[in-house]
Each structure stands twice: as structure tokens, then as C-alpha cells.
């Protein structure tokens, strides 16, 4: 069965509500009008979203902000983005950020936990769904990860 996109994003935020509250990080969810349901492997896409939101929380200071957005960028393509205003990623690391086990500067991530697999797994899942994923970041400003998912024709009829 199909997934309600707004509900999926709200549920990600719910899963992290304790950490968000502790760190006083705001989360803002914006779903473009007209974006409703999508056929997807919910467990897998939840895994992608959890990875991206957990990164956004880990690498954002207290009282930061995270935006989760969904919009249609083409007739049959949905775009979902996770944006933070955290520490960002140095330019020299951007090309390797989706590599397995790659982590920026061990010193800053030493106490953060994790293995450096999150983004590579996210990319595999998104690719397997026929989408693509990319990341843009400005050191000291924040990071935005964007991925796409194809919208199938049967869903169009429901919109």
C-alpha cells in the first residue's frame, strides 16, 4: 500500500523527539501541497531518513534547526531534502562523503558514535528505488542532503 509523505516525515521527527528536545533543536516539516501518497519500501526509506536526520542532529549545535521538505520537481519525481544549520563539511571531503566508512576528521566524530556507513547505505537504498542522492554543504553554515524518488503512474491518479 502507499505511504502518506507528510505522515512519513512527521514520524521520522517523532522517532528523534527525545534527542531533539534535549538538544533544543527545532525541526520544521514542509510538504508541498499536492504531494500526497507514494508507493515505496517504507522500511528502506525510513532507514534513509533516519540516517540523514541522525546526521543532521549529530553535526548541529544546540538550538540549531533542521528542515525536512518534500516537493515534486517533475511530473513523476518527488524530491525530499534534509537540511541543517550545523558544522558543515569541508570542501575537500565532499567527494568522498558517500564512500563506505568515510568520516570527516576523526577528531570531531570520535565521540559521536557511528561507523561512517550511514550515507553509503542511504545512497544504495535510494539508487535501488530508482532515485538519486546528493549533498551540498558549507563549512560552518550547514548541510543539505537531497534525494529523489520516482512517482509511479498509479499514484498520479490518486493525487
Binding site for ligand ATP (CB under 6 A): 51, 55-56, 59, 84, 86-89, 97, 102-104, 109, 114-120, 143
Q: Which is nearer to ligand ATP, 133 or 151 (CB)?
A: 133
**E-assigned strand segments in 46-112:** 65-74, 77-84
If one asks whether residue 137 binds Mg ion (CB under 5 A), the answer comes out as no
Which residue in the set 45, 48, 55, 70 belongs to the binding site for Mg ion (CB under 5 A)? 55
Picking from 65, 73, 80, 64, the residue whose alpha carbon sits closest to that of residue 30 is 80
Smallest distance from ligand ATP to CB 110, Å = 10
Q: In what order do the strands lie in the sheet with 133-138?
A: 26-31, 65-74, 77-84, 142-150, 133-138
Cβ atoms 114, 103 nearer than 8 A: yes
Q: Which is nearer to ligand ATP, 104 or 151 (CB)?
A: 104
Q: Report the partner that residue 59 touches, choosing among ligand ATP, Mg ion, none (CB closer than 5 to 8 A by kind).
A: ligand ATP
Picking from 158, 136, 149, the residue whose alpha carbon sits closest to that of residue 74 is 149
Q: Which is nearer to ligand ATP, 48 or 78 (CB)?
A: 48
Amino acid at each position: 500500500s502507499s505511504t502518506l509523505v507528510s505522515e512519513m516525515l512527521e514520524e521520522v521527527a517523532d522517532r528523534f523527539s527525545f534527542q531533539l528536545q534535549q538538544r533544543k533543536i527545532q525541526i520544521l516539516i514542509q510538504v508541498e501541497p499536492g504531494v500526497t501518497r507514494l508507493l515505496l519500501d517504507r522500511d528502506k526509506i525510513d532507514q534513509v531518513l533516519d540516517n540523514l536526520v541522525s546526521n543532521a542532529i549529530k553535526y548541529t549545535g544546540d538550538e540549531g534547526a533542521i528542515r525536512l521538505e518534500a516537493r515534486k520537481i517533475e511530473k513523476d519525481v518527488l524530491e525530499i531534502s534534509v537540511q541543517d544549520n550545523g558544522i558543515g563539511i569541508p570542501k575537500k571531503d565532499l567527494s568522498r562523503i558517500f564512500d563506505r566508512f568515510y568520516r570527516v576528521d576523526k577528531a570531531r566524530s570520535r565521540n559521536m558514535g557511528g561507523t561512517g556507513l550511514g550515507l553509503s547505505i542511504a545512497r544504495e537504498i535510494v539508487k535501488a528505488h530508482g532515485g538519486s542522492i546528493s549533498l551540498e554543504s558549507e563549512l560552518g553554515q550547514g548541510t543539505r542532503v537531497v534525494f529523489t524518488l520516482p512517482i509511479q503512474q498509479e499514484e498520479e491518479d490518486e493525487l
